Each structure stands twice: as structure tokens, then as C-alpha cells.
Structure 1
Amino acid sequence: MWLDTSGQLLITIVEARVLDDKDTFGGLNDAYVQFFSRIEHDQNHIHIKVYDEDDTAGRDAIGSAKIDLEPVQASGYFDDWVKLPKLFGLGSNSQIHVHMHFQS
């Protein structure tokens, strides 16, 4: 993923913990991560959304987060657990471990 013409950002989702169980009848989460960047004006963020894939009902949102890329670009890396609040910022214990490496 390109931040701009002067570098490249490598994103690795290392692991997840305490993901909210979205399966009604005792199934297991089939979690996956979707992310996209938004680089406009003074905003430079990665948006992360985590979903549970269901065979019959499509997908259920587990949570989402936004990471500011300015410190990542300045230091060259990011390695931390990111909280995944539910829709409308409601509380959740769900977290994902994100590692990012920026190369200019």
C-alpha cells in the first residue's frame, strides 16, 4: 500500500484476542480484517474493520479502529494492540495486534 510517492507501508495483522462472538448458536468466529487508507488534506489514517464471516447471514461487524499514520511515517514502525470499539463507539474488549513498517 502506498502512502505517497516517497514510501511504502507494510501492514501485518499478527493476532487477535477477546473477539466478540457473533455466532448465535455456539459457532466459532471466522474473523477477517479489512483495511483502507484515507489520505486527504491533513488526515492520513488507516481504517481497520474486523468482521465475522457467516455462511448463511453474510458478515457481522466485530469492531473497527483508526490509526494515525503520521507517527508511523516519522518513526518507521508501529507495533501495538489496537482496541476495536463496536458501532457508534460502544465498549468492547476485542483487540488486534497490528505491526506496520514504513520504508521511504
Structure 2
Amino acid sequence: MRLSDENLRGRTIIGADGKVIGEVGTLFLDSTSFRVESFQVKLDKPIAELLGTPHSLFRPGVIEVPVSLVQSVGDTLVLNVAVEGLRQVLPMDTEAPGLH
């Protein structure tokens, strides 16, 4: 299946446990292979709080998720890890690039 960034942005992201995590934001490409290597997730407020990700009233918490964590793509993106498992597989001490 071939998708554009316009088709993916704003799609809901669900963890392997069925919990809504947030929505797709920016896609990040590898400059050598020109393949998507990761994408920004704009976290829902409860998930940002659960993960301890900085957020405010006007700015959602964000994380960068490698495409290797995507189990399936349809109307939603389903990850192969539960929400609570994101702490173990993602570096939580840095923000996604370009969001300062």
C-alpha cells in the first residue's frame, strides 16, 4: 500500500492494548534511503501525563515513534507495543526534532 504524508497526518494511533495514544504528526525521512524512519505522535493529554511527556494547554505532548513499532496501517495506525510499553522502547528525555 502506498500512502502520502497528507493521508497519514491526523490519523489516530492505537497501542497494542487498544488504547488511543494520539495522532500522526510529522514524518521523518532517512536522507540516504528516502524512507520514512519515524513519525511524530501528538499525544492525547492522558497519555502524555501517563508517559510524563511535557505538554501544555496549547501544545500537545509529542514523541517520536520508529516505524518498526507499527503493526498495521488502516483507518488507524496500530502499534505492536502497549501504551505502558512505550516507556521501555522510546527515549522519553528528548523532544521530537524541530519542535523547540
TM-score class, shorter-chain normalisation, is 0.3 to 0.5
Q: Which has the higher contact order (CA 8 A, sep 6+)?
A: 1
Q: TM-score, normalised by structure 1?
A: 0.35
Highest Rg: 1 or 2? Answer: 1
